[in-house]
């Protein structure tokens, strides 16, 4: 037996220990023989890997998870390391079919170390250096192996930044880092290598963790194992190399954790001074803080540092620099002219508070200035607001900028909205009705339903002939237990009209025949691939797929000639899992039927008890949104009446206006016609008609309704006299930390719509107005554009039903501005739900749609301004909606004539947005206050806003406080 035969057998047996021992004992000739045969054997293994069954488990050496690539991967890596040259081994271990994956632990490290350590030191150094230079990221395959080899072999790590980043990627303990052979070599490099700062940016010095680099270095620095000079010099040099705040965050925290002494700061003073003008804010702040401790700085250095510091954009740094400048001038007044250029830079700062502080210092030290210094400050007057410029001019001379005059703008008057048009009339004939194009709109649905009932009563034969083509498609619906789309119901009506009794009724979801059909289809699909796609069980290993096919082909739990596997056999477990999953789906109401469903016979043996099917195909309560289910009820009752030969002569609820409203006089006329025909109105149709009546009805129409004699007529008369039902609506916002807030985008569960009405005794109306379930799964949110026409006189109820579907979700529809525009054209009080819809569209990045909706409702006098202000404040405070976007939208609406309404919105929003004592205003609040001042002036608003008073009395000179004062003074004018 040759050397290669021995090695090959050990590779195929996956005997790692014996293979390592044999490779260590190879001489040069043996290595050459193995190296010559390895590539061919790898090609052979890739084609026919000798891996055991993936279900069999078993001992395969040191690892048992290589089935996907073959059990030969680990021994082949080892064989290459023991026989190839250094360059070839580096390439061999990084081959695509041999390299470790990012998530894999290197189980072969010990064996590789043993084999590599047996080779020549020069060869080891060459190999480890080559492997180290192949590391690209901390997660690079083999990074952990490289670091282990470096520690075990004592090879000096090459200069390679990703290697340093990989070293710091694992947080150490001080005890482990103290004895790390790589510490002395790699620690100085962490201050030079790119990527280290970003990798450690999340480490915190408070609280200090024992398992962190900050914690470990603090301990080793205090012990003297790591030199403080090394750490401090490293941090400062890293600051000087540059980078953004994230890259330098770790080094800034390490620097402060070391608490540099006076002497250590003094020796590095020149470096700290160089950082003041250019370093990121946190680094500049710590540099300034340490420099302020020193009392022997060169005056020229201080002047240069202040000129760079006071030119920065960060207000906090500039204010700190002004404090330093004040201290220098108080101690050496003769230096005032020397420091004036730095002070002039602060006068031009964009923050009012910084400008105000700089003016105060200029006025304070003006007496120490010479002519040149005073002239420099006079040149800066143009950059100051008029009030600050006036104070400085009084001290140094010159003229301040004139006070800005308010914008001379007169908003236009809002134009009244166009009145709604009429609802389109029905075609004159059944043929014309059947030939109309279906547009998937609520108007098409209403016209189809009304036309079907009318022509079924007046010209049934013509209607039957016109719908014969549609009727042929009805048979495809009968296997489905529930119909969610109106067009499905229309098709079923056509089928019943043309072929009465063709519908066998809803299928029983517990029918064993249906599972048998699915089983047969699955087996046939496996055999022929007839569906053209991946087989039903195609993702399973062939051995298991065969077992499962034989199992399900044999019937209820009888495996027939399938292999008798024990309880733990994976094939048996999977077979039972598929059956359990099927039963679980059945219990949940899932429909497993494919095609028409009633094929074959039930297998012998016990059968599950059949559950009685529902008499119609309406979705069960809770599986769809309530407005959706309400509109489907009307189709269901028309189909049921057709089957029972009890259709009325006409429908009551067909709208007369484009908004979905029903003219009261026309409604009474239709009721009179139904009574004259001796018919009863359909319940859902009657209740829909009541919901479509407007709020105001002429007395003569009420009197006509009072003469109706049927029960439906008496109910209609009461509704026409009393008006629409009064609703209680609202929105409840949960606090952000509420544990029930567990949705993907965090929005839906933070706000809960409220909807309630006194029971009417009419079941469908009471369900529709009795609350808003929060579900968004399954078919919830279907036909959103139809909902305003269901409740045209109760727009706040529609808004409440819309709210769970307001945010966009990949799996559900979203409420669009077009839906809200239809809602805005309706009637009824608009409260918190409607206001939240408007706020949502105002606070988007492009608020133009929200502006259009606001203008429409404002022009009609229906805008819920107070509620909109509250909801806008809550929305921007508790979600990712942006107040600046809303402010831009409000300004646009005010400039188009809604200035009075916009002021009312801002007035209602500010109490919820103004900060509490000790807090700073949130993003965009200052701009909203500024807009409030402008719009209040346009609207001629007066009357104190109590929430502004605390800010008016503050001594602060911030821009926010100034804007609050301006608004307060405007409102306080007589």
The dihedral of CA 925, 927, 933, 937: what is its sign?
Answer: negative
Q: What is the pLDDT of residue 614?
A: 57
Grouping H, G, I as helix, E, B as strand and the rest as coil, residue 422 is strand
Average pLDDT score over residue span 805-818: 69
Q: What is the pLDDT of residue 591?
A: 33
DSSP state of 751: E
Range among 56-65, 257-266, 818-827 rated most confident: 257-266
Does the N-terminal peptide bond of residue 207 adopt cis geometry, omega within 30 degrees of 0?
A: yes
Grouping H, G, I as helix, E, B as strand and the rest as coil, residue 728 is strand
Distance CA 377, CA 398 (A): 9
Q: Are 72 and 85 in contact (CB under 8 A)?
A: no
Q: How do the residues of the chain divide into helix, strand and coil, expressed in percent and rounded to 5?
A: 55, 0, 40
Grouping H, G, I as helix, E, B as strand and the rest as coil, residue 708 is coil
Range among 44-48, 57-61, 769-773, 898-902 rated most confident: 898-902
Please state which of the ranges 180-184, 485-489, 865-869, 960-964 shows the lowest mean pLDDT.
Answer: 960-964
Report helix angle 16-24 to 109-117, nearest 10: 10
Average pLDDT score over residue span 908-929: 91
Could you tell me how far CA 303 lies from the centroid of its own chain?
50
Please state which of the ranges 197-201, 547-551, 631-635 shows the lowest mean pLDDT.
Answer: 547-551
Structure tokens given for 492: 């079923």
Range among 537-541, 586-590, 800-804 rated most confident: 800-804
Nearest CA to 798 out of 773, 772, 767 is that of: 772
Exposed e or buried b for every residue in 127-153, given b needs 16+ CB within 10 A?
bbbbbbebbeebebbbbbbbbebbebb
Average pLDDT score over residue span 775-796: 87
Q: What is the pLDDT of residue 108?
A: 58
Q: Are 392 and 374 in contact (CB under 8 A)?
A: no
CA dihedral 824, 825, 829, 834 (to 10 degrees): -10
Which tens digit of pLDDT belongs to each residue from 200-239? 999 988 888 888 999 999 999 999 999 999 999 999 999 9
Distance CA 665, CA 659 (A): 17
Q: What is the pLDDT of residue 152?
A: 86
Exposed e or buried b for every residue in 609-642, given b needs 16+ CB within 10 A?
eeeeeeebbbbeeebbbbbbbbbbbbbbbbbebb
The count of other CB atoms within 10 Å of the CB of residue 754 is 17
**Residue 432 pLDDT level (bands cut at 50, 70, 90):** confident
**Residue 918 pLDDT level (bands cut at 50, 70, 90):** confident
Q: What is the pLDDT of residue 615?
A: 66
**Residue 813 pLDDT level (bands cut at 50, 70, 90):** low
Average pLDDT score over residue span 836-854: 92
The count of other CB atoms within 10 Å of the CB of residue 31 is 17
Q: What is the pLDDT of residue 608?
A: 36
Q: What is the pLDDT of residue 418?
A: 85
More confident: 436 or 888: 888
Q: What is the pLDDT of residue 736?
A: 56
Distance CA 409, CA 414 (A): 15
Average pLDDT score over residue span 571-594: 36
Distance CA 833, CA 819 (A): 14
Could you tell me how far CA 763 lies from the centroid of its own chain?
38
**Residue 101 pLDDT level (bands cut at 50, 70, 90):** low
Q: Are 433 and 426 in contact (CB under 8 A)?
A: yes
pLDDT at 542 over 60: no
Structure tokens given for 556: 């209820």
How wide is the angle at C-alpha 664 spanned by C-alphas 658 and 665, nearest 5°? 110
Q: What is the pLDDT of residue 499?
A: 93
pLDDT at 666 over 60: yes
Give the rounded percent of residues in the chain with a pLDDT score beyond 90. Answer: 55
DSSP state of 382: G
pLDDT at 807 over 80: no
Grouping H, G, I as helix, E, B as strand and the rest as coil, residue 851 is helix
Give the rounded percent of residues in the chain with a pLDDT score beyond 70. Answer: 82
Could you tell me how far CA 225 lies from the centroid of its own chain?
48
Which tens digit of pLDDT belongs to each residue from 642-654? 999 999 999 999 9
Average pLDDT score over residue span 369-382: 91
More confident: 490 or 556: 490
Q: Where are the alpha helices (DSSP H) in 812-882?
A: 817-824, 832-842, 848-859, 865-878
Q: What is the pLDDT of residue 509?
A: 54
Q: Are 644 and 650 in contact (CB under 8 A)?
A: no
Average pLDDT score over residue span 233-251: 93
Q: What is the pLDDT of residue 405?
A: 66
Q: What is the pLDDT of residue 671?
A: 96
Q: What is the pLDDT of residue 191?
A: 95
Q: For the chain, what is the mean pLDDT?
A: 83
Radius of gyration of the chain (CA): 40
Helix (H) or strand (E) holding 74: helix 73-81
Distances (CA, A) of 644 to 496, 527, 640: 11, 46, 6
Q: What is the pLDDT of residue 259?
A: 94
Distance CA 865, CA 737 (A): 29
Distance CA 790, CA 780 (A): 16
pLDDT at 47 over 80: no
Exposed e or buried b for every residue in 510-527, given b needs 16+ CB within 10 A?
bbbbbbbbbbebbbebbe
Q: What is the pLDDT of residue 60?
A: 33
**Residue 74 pLDDT level (bands cut at 50, 70, 90):** confident
Nearest CA to 276 out of 266, 286, 261 is that of: 286
The count of other CB atoms within 10 Å of the CB of residue 508 is 16
Q: What is the pLDDT of residue 722?
A: 92
């Amino acid at each position: 037996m040759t050397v290669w035969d021995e090695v090959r057998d050990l590779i195929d047996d996956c005997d790692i220990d014996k293979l390592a021992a044999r490779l260590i004992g190879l001489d040069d000739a043996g290595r050459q023989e193995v190296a010559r045969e390895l590539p061919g054997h790898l090609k052979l293994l890739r084609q026919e890997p000798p891996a055991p069954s993936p279900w069999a488990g078993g001992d395969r050496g040191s690892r048992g998870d290589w089935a996907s690539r073959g059990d030969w991967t680990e021994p082949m890596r080892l064989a290459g390391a023991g026989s190839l040259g250094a360059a070839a081994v580096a390439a061999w271990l990084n081959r695509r079919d041999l390299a470790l994956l990012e998530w894999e632990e290197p189980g072969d490290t010990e064996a590789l170390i043993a084999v590599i350590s047996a080779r020549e030191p020069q060869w080891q150094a060459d190999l480890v250096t080559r492997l180290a230079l192949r590391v690209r990221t901390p997660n690079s395959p083999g990074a952990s192996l490289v670091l282990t080899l470096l520690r075990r072999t004592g090879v000096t790590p090459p200069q390679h930044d990703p290697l340093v980043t990989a070293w710091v990627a694992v947080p150490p303990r001080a005890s482990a880092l103290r004895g790390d052979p790589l510490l002395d070599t790699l620690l100085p490099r962490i201050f030079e290598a790119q990527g280290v700062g970003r990798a450690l940016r999340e480490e915190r010095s408070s609280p200090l963790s024992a398992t962190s680099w900050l914690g470990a270095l603090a301990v080793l620095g205090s012990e003297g194992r790591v030199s403080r000079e090394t750490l401090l010099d490293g941090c400062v040099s890293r600051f000087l190399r540059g980078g953004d705040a994230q890259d330098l965050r770790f080094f800034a925290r390490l620097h402060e954790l070391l608490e540099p002494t006076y002497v250590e700061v003094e020796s590095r003073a020149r470096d700290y001074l160089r950082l003041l003008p250019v370093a990121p804010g946190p680094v500049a702040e710590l540099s300034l803080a340490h420099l302020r401790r020193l009392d022997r700085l060169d005056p020229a250095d201080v002047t240069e540092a202040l000129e760079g510091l006071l030119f920065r954009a960060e207000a906090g740094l500039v204010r700190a620099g002004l404090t330093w400048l004040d201290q220098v001038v108080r101690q050496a007044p003769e230096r005032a002219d020397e420091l004036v250029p730095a002070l002039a830079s602060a006068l031009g700062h964009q923050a009012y508070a910084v400008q105000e502080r700089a003016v105060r210092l200029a006025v304070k030290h003006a007496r120490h200035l010479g002519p040149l210094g005073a002239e420099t400050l006079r040149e800066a007057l143009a950059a100051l607001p008029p009030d600050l410029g006036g104070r400085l001019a009084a001290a140094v001379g010159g003229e301040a900028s004139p006070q800005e005059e308010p914008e001379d703008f007169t908003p236009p008057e809002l134009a009244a909205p166009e009145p709604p048009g009429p609802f389109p009339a029905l075609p004159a004939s059944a043929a014309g009705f059947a030939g109309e194009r279906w547009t998937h709109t609520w108007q098409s649905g209403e016209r189809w339903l009304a036309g079907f009932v009318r022509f079924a009563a007046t010209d049934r034969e013509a209607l039957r002939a016109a719908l014969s083509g549609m009727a042929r498609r009805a048979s495809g619906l009968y296997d489905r237990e529930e119909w969610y789309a109106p067009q499905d119901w229309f098709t079923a009506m056509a089928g019943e009209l043309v072929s009465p009794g063709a519908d066998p009724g809803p299928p029983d979801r517990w029918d064993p025949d249906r599972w048998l059909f699915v089983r047969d289809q699955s087996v046939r699909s496996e055999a022929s691939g007839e569906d053209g796609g991946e087989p039903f069980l195609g993702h399973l290993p062939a051995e298991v797929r065969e077992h499962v096919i034989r199992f399900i082909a044999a019937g209820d739990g009888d495996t027939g000639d399938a292999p008798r596997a024990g309880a733990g056999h994976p094939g048996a477990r999977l077979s039972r899992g598929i059956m359990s999953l099927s039963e679980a789906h059945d219990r949940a109401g899932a429909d497993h039927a494919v095609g028409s469903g009633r094929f074959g016979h039930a297998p012998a043996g016990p059968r599950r008890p059949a559950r009685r099917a529902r008499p119609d195909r309406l979705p069960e309560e809770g599986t769809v949104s309530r407005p959706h289910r309400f509109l489907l009820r009307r189709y269901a009752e028309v189909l049921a009446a057709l089957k029972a030969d009890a259709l009325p002569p006409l429908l009551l609820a067909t709208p007369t206006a484009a908004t979905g409203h029903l003219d009261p006089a026309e409604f009474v006329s239709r009721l009179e016609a139904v009574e004259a025909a001796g018919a009863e109105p359909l319940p859902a149709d009657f209740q829909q008609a009541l919901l479509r009546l407007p709020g105001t009805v002429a007395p003569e129409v009420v009197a006509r309704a009072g003469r109706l004699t049927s029960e439906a007529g008496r109910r209609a008369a009461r509704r026409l006299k009393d008006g629409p039902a009064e609703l209680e609506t609202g929105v409840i916002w949960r606090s952000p930390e509420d544990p029930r807030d567990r949705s993907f985008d965090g929005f839906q569960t933070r706000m809960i719509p409220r909807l309630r009405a006194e029971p009417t005794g009419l079941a469908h109306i009471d369900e529709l107005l009795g609350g808003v379930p929060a579900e968004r799964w399954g078919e919830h949110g279907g036909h959103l554009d139809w909902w305003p026409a269901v409740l045209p006189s109760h727009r706040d109820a529609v808004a409440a039903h819309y709210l769970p579907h307001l945010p966009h979700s990949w799996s559900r529809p979203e409420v669009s501005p077009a839906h809200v525009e239809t809602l805005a054209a309706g009637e009824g009080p608009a409260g918190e739900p409607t206001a939240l819809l408007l706020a949502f569209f105002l606070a988007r990045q492009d608020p133009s749609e929200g502006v259009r909706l606001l203008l429409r409702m404002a022009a009609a006098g229906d805008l819920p301004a107070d509620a909109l202000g509250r909801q806008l404040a809550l929305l921007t405070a508790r979600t990712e909606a942006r107040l600046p976007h809303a402010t831009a939208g409000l300004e646009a609406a005010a400039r188009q004539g809604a200035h009075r309404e916009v002021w009312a919105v801002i007035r209602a929003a500010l109490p919820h947005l103004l900060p509490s004592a000790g807090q700073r205003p949130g993003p965009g609040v200052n701009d909203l206050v500024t807009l409030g001042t402008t719009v209040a002036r346009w609207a001629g608003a007066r009357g104190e806003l109590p929430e502004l008073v605390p800010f008016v009395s503050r001594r602060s000179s911030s821009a926010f406080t100034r804007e609050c004062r301006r608004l307060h003074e405007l409102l306080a004018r007589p």
